[in-house]
Structure 1
Amino acid sequence: MATTQAGSQRRPRLAHECAAGEIFGRAPIYDAIFSCISPRTLVRTGRSCRAAYAAYRDFSHRAYNIHRHLSRFLSEPLDFRSLQARTGTLIAGSNALQFLDRTFYPKSDMDLYVHPGHVREVFDYLVEREGYKFKPDSTQPKDYRKIVSDDWDGTQIRDEPLAHDELLLYYQIRGVESVFSIEKHGPDGLLKIQLIACETSPFDAIINFHSTCVMNFIAFDAAYSLYPVGTFEKRDTLSVWRARPLHDLAVVIKYGERGFAWISTLPASTSPQSSPFHPFTDRTVGDRYTWRLPLDTHGVALRSQMNPSSSIFQCDPVIYNGWALERVQYGMGTVYKTIKSSVFRYNYTTTNYKLNFKLWLFAIEQGFLSRILMERKLLDKEGWPWFDAELASSWETFKHDFLSFIRRDST
């Protein structure tokens, strides 16, 4: 029996270890295997042994290459991700689904969801840096600069938006203010990007998509799936009731052809534990039910300080959002309370009334002080302080308290 340099005996390799080494030591073999299994099975396989883990890491690095994924639409993916980092822009819809599912839908476009106040910056980047051209619909002027202003006033009091019946009839997404189409010709044909200007936030629009299989999105630092088990394991998509019922079957047919079974609602006997859609449960982005896929951020330029009066805030604001899936009039729907205040640069959502009340009190006090300073000419719009970093601190405290409660309740 062979011995090591220290003289100790080396354990002989077992037959199954030899077989694993043969399979997971050759990229063509494990690529063929990994390309046919679901994300959860991929992760579990990688945990089976050292050889499988090394193969899993190598395959994932290539399969979830965000720059390669973006290169179909963007010539400079790294610069675009830096734009995402400073604007909080999210890639959602079928594009994010394709990335996480490691698949490709021919002739599909890219949907970008943009926060209020950043639409002009994102639009200019895509037109001036990436060579896209605005393709207005019958209601829009030929020059997008006439309808997309670069003068956004974040100091204004943010009232709840009025019901936009005509808008909902056209876009069928709650939380959408405007949709702009841009196009250019690429090596493989026409490329189309839809730039969605959101009323409150990208998350508010995404959580009101037609069904759960498209509740996925890509931020500058990570990709997220809110319902990964239902989407990638069960291949089911649960219909989410919006402002009006879905009358046409185009969406149902499209995602049926893509391999997803449409579920109109959940049975009355459904419990949070028995369903991959986790109904009647307070959720947060990045919770234990979320699939978060970290992305390599090497070379991505993070957001600079918004102004000298504001705390440094460099994470993507999407992680400070919460929601729940509850029964509504026509089936299942997403419910939450919107956090909207001029003391925060961005708008957020939560199901926690304690957190919402705490932030409401903070916003009233801080907003009052800031407006007094503006009236006395001691503060201008450029120096208006935003406290998103302080919201982040409150959110982390809420999540810690909530998780502690869940652990106590389960013991």
Structure 2
Amino acid sequence: MAPPTPVQGHPLLLTLLDFYPSREGIMHYLDTKDVLNLARASMAIRHNIMDNYWNINSKLARFIRDPTRFRSQLGHSDALISGSFALQFFERTTWLDSDLDIVVQNGKNLEGLAKFLTAVEGYKMTEEQEPYKPSHDAYIKEVQTFMYSMKGNANVDGNKSAKSKIQLTVTHCTPLLAILRTYYTTAVINFISWNKAYSLFPRATFLYRETMPLKPVNEHFGQLHTKYSERGWRMRTQPITYDLFPGRKSPFGNKANRRVGDEDTRKIKLDTTFVERPSKPDFVLEISAEVFKSPSLRYEYVYPAIGQSIVFWTEIGKFLSRNTLGQLMKMSLEEMMDAVDDSQPQDVCTYALDFEQPQGWDYYDDLIPKLYDYMEDKGVFSAIRSQRLEFGMKDE
């Protein structure tokens, strides 16, 4: 089919979107739902909107001179951009008084990212700040603040200023686990990896502009909620739109058991031109919030310890336990006994084993998304939930 042609004197919508003044004039009157509907009009309009309003490189330019190189380091450090920056990215807005928040695990991942910010981007660490809540100590070690040091050269400084600030939230655990366990309200459960942006509660946050507390509302968290109320997010203990219109989809997701990347997650694929791909695949983040690890897996996984997730990881655990015990034969007797601490096979807790895997060790990370899809397609999760309800059991 031939592409549409403008009627005499009436330009195509795509033509209007190609010019900044007319595009901004249109977008000024559209909320997020309108923009998403507009993006469905055609592939060309979708690309135009994504390139102009969800362009991660242009958003990062306030803080980073070389966004693609930075995102390469973000992936290699297994770090996540979060906080107000991620919220602004999805909302298509900019708060000039905000900073860039990054969550990164302590150790070599932190060292690599901090070195990049100082040696490549010209930032200096100014202070270290302990987390406010003592209960966060199991997840957050400290918050490191980096301020940009102006060079007086436009080619070097780029769009950065003396007020450009980056905060690294340094964790004891995976960044995802720290976000899910310590963030205080649903509106801020958004994060950006090297190649994708995720919002776990997009319907409530961007369509209804509501947020539900995830922590007790004390004086500290109350002040934070006040800040977001002033920015346009109403705090609800039960979303009012869902109360008044029960026929609508739940703003917080339609399943009792959520995971990153499920059908209720908004996921934006980012342009990865010139960005180096890290070794860890995306499904490690998306089949995720307890930590699951095994000597037969290359990576640690994060999962909600409720409902179908427990069933899934229990089955995975049985398989991997047998696999790990079998593979111990690839080691010398001395190495094997050292790895299991002289325990008998029936007494070995395989997920707790800590040893250096020998050459030729087999890993099974690639089977995890396949098994999850298989169990979901076959209705295994639904059948288990029906059995639990039949016996008067609820998913806690």
Fold conserved between structures, TM > 0.5: yes
The counterpart of 1:298, out of the listed 250, 273, 276, is 273
Structure 1: distance between partners of 2:5 and 2:66: 47
1:113 is paired with a residue whose SS is strand
Comparing 396-405 and 95-104, the one that deviates more? 396-405
> What do residues 211-261 of structure 1 show as CA deviations (whole Å, max 9, x unaligned)?
1111111111111111111111111111113xx553332101110111111
Q: Name the structure 2 match of 1:283.
A: 258
Give the drift of 1:116: 4.9
Structure 1: distance between partners of 2:381 and 2:311: 19
1:126 equivalenced with 2:112 (yes/no): no
1:247 equivalenced with 2:200 (yes/no): no
> What do residues 339-376 of structure 1 show as CA deviations (whole Å, max 9, x unaligned)?
13454433421441222112323443455567773874
Q: Name the structure 2 match of 1:177.
A: 141
Q: Name the structure 2 match of 1:55.
A: 45
Q: Do the aligned residues in 2 keep the contact of 1:213 with 1:237 (CA within 8 Å)?
A: yes
Q: Do the aligned residues in 2 keep the contact of 1:85 with 1:314 (CA within 8 Å)?
A: no
1:135 equivalenced with 2:126 (yes/no): yes
User: What TM-score results when the alignment is normalised by the length of structure 1?
Assistant: 0.71
User: What TM-score results when the alignment is normalised by the length of structure 2?
Assistant: 0.73
The counterpart of 2:208, out of the listed 231, 234, 247, is 234
1:40 equivalenced with 2:12 (yes/no): no
Give the drift of 1:392: 4.2
Structure 2: distance between partners of 1:382 and 1:121: 25
Q: Do the aligned residues in 2 keep the contact of 1:113 with 1:195 (CA within 8 Å)?
A: yes
Change (3 A) 1:60 1:34: farther
The counterpart of 2:58, out of the listed 57, 68, 74, is 68
Higher relative contact order structure (alpha carbons within 8 Å, sequence separation ≥ 6): 1
1:200 equivalenced with 2:200 (yes/no): no
Q: Name the structure 2 match of 1:395.
A: 369
The structure in which a higher percent of residues are helix is 2
The counterpart of 2:318, out of the listed 346, 356, 361, is 361
Structure 2: distance between partners of 1:404 and 1:38: 39
Change (3 A) 1:65 1:364: same
Q: Do the aligned residues in 1 keep the contact of 2:177 with 2:290 (CA within 8 Å)?
A: no
Q: Do the aligned residues in 2 keep the contact of 1:343 with 1:367 (CA within 8 Å)?
A: yes
Q: Do the aligned residues in 2 keep the contact of 1:178 with 1:197 (CA within 8 Å)?
A: yes
Q: Do the aligned residues in 2 keep the contact of 1:213 with 1:227 (CA within 8 Å)?
A: yes
The counterpart of 1:319, out of the listed 282, 286, 303, is 286
Structure 2: distance between partners of 1:138 and 1:210: 19
> What do residues 278-314 of structure 1 show as CA deviations (whole Å, max 9, x unaligned)?
276211222111111111112111125xxxxxxxx44
Change (3 A) 1:101 1:25: same
Change (3 A) 1:265 1:131: same
Q: Name the structure 1 match of 2:302.
A: 348
Q: How many residues align?
A: 342
Structure 2: distance between partners of 1:259 and 1:384: 55
Structure 2: distance between partners of 1:14 and 1:42: 22
Change (3 A) 1:212 1:374: farther
Structure 2: distance between partners of 1:36 and 1:385: 59
Structure 2: distance between partners of 1:354 and 1:207: 20
Q: What are the equivalent positions in structure 2 for 1:362-381 lying under 5 Å apart?
A: 362-368=319-325, 373=331, 376=334, 381=356
Structure 1: distance between partners of 2:85 and 2:177: 18
Change (3 A) 1:392 1:109: farther
2:25 is paired with a residue whose SS is helix
1:264 is paired with a residue whose SS is coil
Identity of aligned residues (%): 23
Could you list the runs of 5+ residues in structure 1 that have no partner in the other structure? Answer: 1-9, 140-166, 305-312, 322-335
Give the drift of 1:98: 0.7
Structure 1: distance between partners of 2:56 and 2:210: 25
Structure 2: distance between partners of 1:103 and 1:235: 14
2:379 is paired with a residue whose SS is helix
Give the drift of 1:91: 0.3
1:257 equivalenced with 2:230 (yes/no): yes
Could you list the runs of 5+ residues in structure 2 that have no partner in the other structure? Answer: 151-159, 340-354, 384-396
Q: Do the aligned residues in 2 keep the contact of 1:97 with 1:214 (CA within 8 Å)?
A: yes
Change (3 A) 1:173 1:37: farther
Q: Name the structure 2 match of 1:113.
A: 103
Change (3 A) 1:88 1:258: same
Q: Name the structure 2 match of 1:328.
A: none
Structure 2: distance between partners of 1:133 and 1:206: 25
1:98 equivalenced with 2:83 (yes/no): no
Q: Name the structure 2 match of 1:30.
A: 23
Structure 2: distance between partners of 1:376 and 1:366: 20
Give the drift of 1:65: 1.5
